[in-house]
Amino acid sequence: MLTRPFVQISNGLKWMKDPCSLLDLMAARHGLAFRLDLPILGNCLITGDPDLLAAIKNHPNLEAGKGIRALRRILGDGSLITLDGEAHATRREIIAKHFRADQSQAVDALTVDVMRSLYEDLPDGDFSAYSLFHEASLLVILRFLFEDLTLKELEDLRSDTLLFLSAFSSAVVLFVRPLQIDHILFPWGRALNHRRNLEKSILKFSRRQNRASQIFAEMEEAGSTNETACAEILTLLMFGHDTAAAAMSWTTSLLACHPEVLEKTREDAAIRKRKQSSVQQISSLQSASLYSAEDFVHGSILESLRLRPVVIHLSRVAQERIELGEYALLPGEFVLPCQYVAHRNENIFKDATSFLPQRWIPDIAKQEETKLTSAFFPFGFTDRLCPGMPFALRQMQIQLQTVLEYSWAAKKDPEPRRQMVLVVPESGGTLVKLK
């Protein structure tokens, strides 16, 4: 009989290295809901069961902000993702309106230009899809938040952001407290040092006339300090590019591994481009839905978010003893609503492990939206639904449409790998640039 610490450590190592294989194994043994004993999180309930998910969504005694333990240590206690209750609702109102689709279109043309120029600058041969989309998405979110910066200032802010992010090459430092030593000789100390530099730049540039300064002013009016506003902008910078870049590296890797789907998507992208140039705007993206797609460009993105969600689970903590179906959670226990497991539910998604963008196109596959809301949640749900979703979906469609102007192919079908709190294709998804 193995002791509990041994089981926890063994599960923890698998969870850090290859969470998808561990989830596949547990789901094959136990179905859509099971307990998994993990370091830090404890014996948590993991679920992709639509009925349990529906019960979790509006449960008054489950909190989300308190569940964000690892990120809290770098983002502090005052940013949207770590707040709960009224403070969360007030902050959300300030942040979400800045990322609506009508606001996001301010960077449509820039996104096309950035994608084309980065792709054309790639040398012939292999390239990492993640690196390409990471570079594009970071430039775009920086411009979106700080539209008035000179090129030199933008470059400085970009390198401060990259230095900060580079401190987390391994996720271990995020989760293992004893490694969090605030000294320049240790990775954690270097991360905090880079964060302080980045905060200084954010503060300086937020005194100008840009979207970040608007967010600062709105937060100040709602009673936040400069320090909290700075942490919020830092959070938006981090989440505003890395998640979408990871998702795009999956979309392009999956397309490249399915040449016939890639061809159909390329045709649809060309039709889109013709329609858009005739109305002089990318208007069809205004209503990008999460539950049905108008063509293969949108369908491929939804299907990749389903099959390879980059955020594989959410975190909720019980505030008192609660019952969820046959499970009881004690105060302080975690439940992890799990996209990875939910999105592979064969009862909802026939042939769930295959990449089938056509399942999202209403004329071809008629799915019930109500059924899907508790089965498909790449951006989370209810009052914690990702406020960046309209921005991300719009960006992904424009980036995909632009990169489809060029020819590329798959090197191999990539395995999923953890990168910080995200799951990305191994080596970032290697693609080959074709003439």
Residues making contact with ligand HEM (CB under 6 A) = 64, 80-81, 92, 99, 235-236, 239-240, 243-244, 247, 310-311, 314, 378-381, 384, 386-388, 391-392
Strand partners, 125: 433
Nearer to ligand HEM, 206 or 243 (CB): 243
**Minimum gap (Å) between residue 312 Cβ and ligand HEM:** 9
Nearer to ligand HEM, 118 or 212 (CB): 212
Calculate the CA dihedral of residues 70, 76, 80, 85 and round it to 10 degrees.
90
By the 10 Å C-beta count (0-12 exposed, 13-18 middle, 19+ buried), 152 is classed as exposed
Q: Which residue has the tokens 């099971």?
A: 34
3-state secondary structure of 23: helix
**Minimum gap (Å) between residue 124 Cβ and ligand HEM:** 29
Q: End-to-end CA distance of the chain: give it in Å, rounded.
A: 59
Cβ-contact 301, 312 below 8 angstroms: no
Sheet strand arrangement including 62-63: 33-38, 42-47, 334-337, 316-318, 62-63
**Minimum gap (Å) between residue 249 Cβ and ligand HEM:** 11
Strand partners, 189: none
**Minimum gap (Å) between residue 219 Cβ and ligand HEM:** 13
Beta strands 33-38 and 334-337 are unpaired
**Minimum gap (Å) between residue 378 Cβ and ligand HEM:** 5
How far apart are alpha carbons 344 and 143 in whole angstroms? 37
Q: Which residue has the tokens 């392009």?
A: 252
DSSP 100: S
What is the DSSP code string of 83-97?
--HHHHHHHHHHHHG
Nearer to ligand HEM, 215 or 386 (CB): 386
**Minimum gap (Å) between residue 363 Cβ and ligand HEM:** 25
Contacts of 168 (CB under 8 A, 6+ apart): 174, 191, 420
Nearer to ligand HEM, 190 or 231 (CB): 231
Residue nearest to ligand HEM (CB): 388
**Minimum gap (Å) between residue 19 Cβ and ligand HEM:** 15
**Minimum gap (Å) between residue 384 Cβ and ligand HEM:** 3
Dig out the tokens for 107 from the structure: 């960077």
Nearer to ligand HEM, 360 or 381 (CB): 381
Nearer to ligand HEM, 115 or 314 (CB): 314
Nearer to ligand HEM, 108 or 188 (CB): 108
Cβ-contact 374, 54 below 8 angstroms: yes
Nearer to ligand HEM, 355 or 379 (CB): 379
Nearer to ligand HEM, 22 or 236 (CB): 236
Of the candidates 112, 97, 106, the one whose C-alpha atom is nearest the C-alpha of residue 146 is 106
Per-residue exposure over 380-418, b if at least 16 CB sit within 10 Å of its own CB, e if not: bbeebebbbbbbbbbbbbbbbbbbbeeebebbeebebbb
Dig out the tokens for 319 from the structure: 């505030």
**Minimum gap (Å) between residue 215 Cβ and ligand HEM:** 11
Nearer to ligand HEM, 136 or 310 (CB): 310
Contacts of 169 (CB under 8 A, 6+ apart): 187
**Minimum gap (Å) between residue 102 Cβ and ligand HEM:** 15
DSSP 313: B
How far apart are alpha carbons 36 and 42 in whole angstroms? 8
